[in-house]
A = this chain, B = another copy of it.
Amino acid sequence: MYFKVAKKNFYNALSVAARAISTFSPLPAFSGIKIDAKEDCLVLTGSDSDVSIQTKLVKSEDCNLEIRDMGSIVIEAKYILEIVRKINADEIEFEVIDGCSTKISGNTAEFRINGMRANEYPAIDFSKPKECFTMEEDILRRIILQTSFATSDKETRPVLTGVNFACDGTTLNCVATDSYRLAKKTIEIKESLNFNITVPAKSLQEVVKTLEDEGEVEIAVNDKKAQFIINDTIVQTRLIDGVYPETNRLIPLTFDYELTIDAKDLLDAIDRASFIKNDGVSVIKFSLSEDECVLSSKSVEVGSSTEVLNSASFVGNRLEISCNGRYVFDAIKALSGSLVKFSLCGEMKPFIIQSVDDASVLQLVLPVRTYA
């Protein structure tokens, strides 16, 4: 196995494949990147068994790829990334010398690294599932950023650690909830499909990192796995087993109160009060009336804060409602637009936060009871 390749392109491709690799590999082989030198391309594979990333470096003028001997080898990801990043040369030579020992050289520096045989690397099936649709990369990025933060980080109900993608015809609903808050994004797709899958939030983070500024992403799903295909890269993830809870009935449809406020003003105010915690949680209280909107928080140990929200306008009877400040903060952060609208039903009823400019995303937060 022997090839020459432009350092920059090789490094970028290695970085993409390495993203799937976890610091604590379930198998020793999974700490490595599998490098296949084929007739006209290099195929680089990284995996932690949940997420697998395969990326191709195809012969082109840009990457100067020259493959003299085909073959496969697995090299510890951290070593090869370090070598290729730091080597002071435009071109890298890569040669497997006797089955495992691999020579990587550029300019006056030469490294010999102990690799692993490719047949010790688990076989990963990258075949493409049947249900397949496309969307703009930027739309997928927004779906993930606007929902995945609301997934649960506890393994007690595994299905809540993922984002549910449910498609019935051309409407795709993307929902995440940890049972205290919920984020939902709805978009229309071109294809008419029928599926209901839950993708681990962790896998979606890797998808976001792989997305480029523009272009399309192809998404292919079956009941076992989902593939996100971005140019020459496939990010493949297992799905979370189990039926995702029916969340529609949680979302109220009629409201008695409405608060409109500048998003940045409210984020700043919540942030200012965030150090006032009770048992590690920053609980904020909105005291709302048509005359004045006040945000306050209190902790016996630390002290208290009060702030008049000058940019707020409120419609409805006097209302006091308390909730986890972090949840409101995350929810507003995930919305676009400068003005946000809270739609409320009462002191202890879930409320909705939306951008006034974009009805495709909905954030729901459950209030908490306070005794202050």
Contact = CB atoms under 8 A, between A and B. Distances in A.
11 contacts: A83-B272, A86-B271, A88-B272, A101-B303, A102-B303, A108-B307, A110-B305, A112-B305, A113-B302, A114-B302, A114-B303
A179 B341 CA distance: 65
A275 B78 contact: yes
Given A78-B275, A83-B272, A271-B86, A109 B305 contact: yes
A275 B306 contact: no
Contacts of A79: 275, 302-303
B308 A87 contact: no
A12 interface: no
B275 A82 contact: yes
A277 to B, nearest CB: 11
A310 interface: yes
A304 interface: yes
Nearest to A303: B113
Interface of A: 76, 78-79, 82-83, 86-88, 101-102, 108-114, 268-269, 271-272, 275, 301-310
A319 to B, nearest CB: 20
How many copies of this chain does the complex contain?
2
Given A112-B304, A114-B303, 12 more contacts: A79-B302, A83-B272, A83-B275, A86-B268, A88-B268, A108-B307, A109-B269, A109-B272, A109-B305, A111-B304, A111-B305, A114-B302
The 3 nearest A-B residue pairs measured at CB = A113-B303, A109-B307, A108-B308
Contacts of A78: 275
Nearest to A109: B307
Contacts of A310: 108
A275 B305 CA distance: 50
Contacts of A305: 109-112
Contacts of A275: 78-79, 82-83
A188 to B, nearest CB: 40
Contacts of A114: 301-303
Given A108-B310, A310-B108, A86 B272 contact: yes
A309 to B, nearest CB: 8
A249 to B, nearest CB: 39
A7 to B, nearest CB: 13
Contact of A112 (B108, B113, B303, B308): B303
Nearest to A76: B302
Contacts of A76: 302
A113 to B, nearest CB: 4
A106 B158 CA distance: 45
A263 B110 CA distance: 20
Nearest to A114: B303
Contacts of A83: 272, 275
Nearest to A304: B112
